[in-house]
Amino acid sequence: MPRVLPQFLRSLRHRNIILFFGAGDLATSPFLVTEFLARGSLAGVLQDTDIALSRSRKVQFALDAACGIRFLHELRPARIHRDIKSANLLVAEVRPWPGWWGGGVEETAHAAR
């Protein structure tokens, strides 16, 4: 894991971005320490037939994810997540949070407004 990634993640503060506490490496298994979101991934919530989601709740998930991604794109320099999918969005009670494993974060010098 690049050393700059934990420093960057620690600096993020937005209601739609998961809180990051630290990172480590046990033998050959790197790990991240984040806040705990009991509902797990949005993919799991959407696949769980015991959870009835209204259309408005699903739209709110999409809007909250878009707000978090917009926040990253408006940073200077802008950041690009590179792996947005429901498995990488974590759900608290009512909104998904971008998770930072998988494709990671890419720094770019520009972003469309």
Please indicate whether residue 107 or residue 24 has the higher confidence score (pLDDT). 24
Task: Decide if 11 is inside a domain.
Answer: yes
Structure tokens at 103: 């494709």
pLDDT value of residue 105: 40
The pLDDT of residue 74 is 93
Of 99, 84, 95, the residue nearest 39 (C-alpha):
95
Report the number of distinct structural domains present in the chain: 1
Q: Is 83 a catalytic residue?
A: yes
78 within a domain of the structure (yes/no): yes
Per the model's pLDDT, the better-predicted residue between 66 and 8 turns out to be: 66
Instruction: Residue 45: give the domain boundaries.
Output: 4-107
Q: At a CB cut-off of 8 Å and minimum separation 6, what does 105 contact?
A: 5, 8, 9, 72, 79, 80, 81, 82
| Catalytic-labelled residue, pool 25, 48, 50, 83 | 83
- 113 falls within a domain: no
CATH code for the domain of 15: 1.10.510.10
2-16, 27-41, 74-88: segment of lowest average pLDDT? 2-16
